[in-house]
A = this chain, B = another copy of it.
Amino acid sequence: MKLTFSPSSPFARKVRISAIELALIDRIELVPTTVAPTTPNEKYADHVNPLRKLPALILDNGQVLFDSTVIIEYLDDLAGGGKLFPAKGPERWQVKTENALIQGMLDAMLLARYEKGVRPEALRWPKWIDDQWDRAWHGLKYFEDRPEILSRPFDITQIGLACLLGYADLRFPDSQWREAYPKLNVFNEKMLQRESVKISVPK
């Protein structure tokens, strides 16, 4: 299988960590890929993902899967099922909701970054950045207020949170999330001791 990949994409990092944890990483070739808003990439749009987003998983029979959540659910199934997402019951819907929240927080952080770093300076709207950042910030509070999530056995929520906090450090080094959310800080330090998380920290 091939995975379109960039080390700075938190979504691609989620898949990489998941594949390592599911012992499937040796079956996946990481294909370095560059995508960016307002930069055309017809080949990728026509043959991989019309949304021009990372990551996509290209199976050996040519089938293309995305987004990162679909890919990780597929890999979890390939590894026997119920490993990173609970297979059933109320826990399943809780974890899937947490995962959707983290995906939305990452989307919001990427929009804030595009506003600050891609859009021409004269066209930037501080209120938009504040609005997007506020969504991510409220999301961090959701997890800080639910420490039982942070101490569960390793799952997709914890992988997603590690990737999100790594992305915050990479792109918003002044956010001071550690001071505002001390339980997330302890959680993050614990995650960084895990090999899959440690080797994938974006630089």
Contact = CB atoms under 8 A, between A and B. Distances in A.
Contact of A128 (B40, B96, B119): B119
Interface in A85-126: 90, 93-94, 96-97, 100-101, 104-105, 107-108, 111, 119-120, 123-125
A147 interface: no
Interface string A41-75: 00001100111110000000001111101100110
A94 to B, nearest CB: 7
Interface of A: 37-38, 40, 45-46, 49-53, 63-67, 69-70, 73-74, 90, 93-94, 96-97, 100-101, 104-105, 107-108, 111, 119-120, 123-125, 127-128, 130-131, 134-135, 138-139, 141-142
B138 A45 contact: yes
A46 to B, nearest CB: 7
Specify the main secondary structure of chain A where it touches its partner: helix
A127 B64 contact: no
A51 B64 CA distance: 29
Nearest to A140: B50
A11 to B, nearest CB: 11
A119 B125 contact: yes
A93 B74 contact: yes
The 9 A-B pairs at the shortest CB distance, nearest first, are namely: A50-B138, A51-B104, A50-B139, A67-B100, A45-B138, A70-B96, A38-B131, A123-B125, A51-B135
Contacts of A125: 119-120, 123
A70 B100 contact: yes
A44 to B, nearest CB: 10
Nearest to A74: B93
A108 B142 contact: no
7 contacts: A38-B130, A45-B135, A50-B138, A50-B142, A63-B94, A107-B107, A120-B125
A203 B31 CA distance: 45
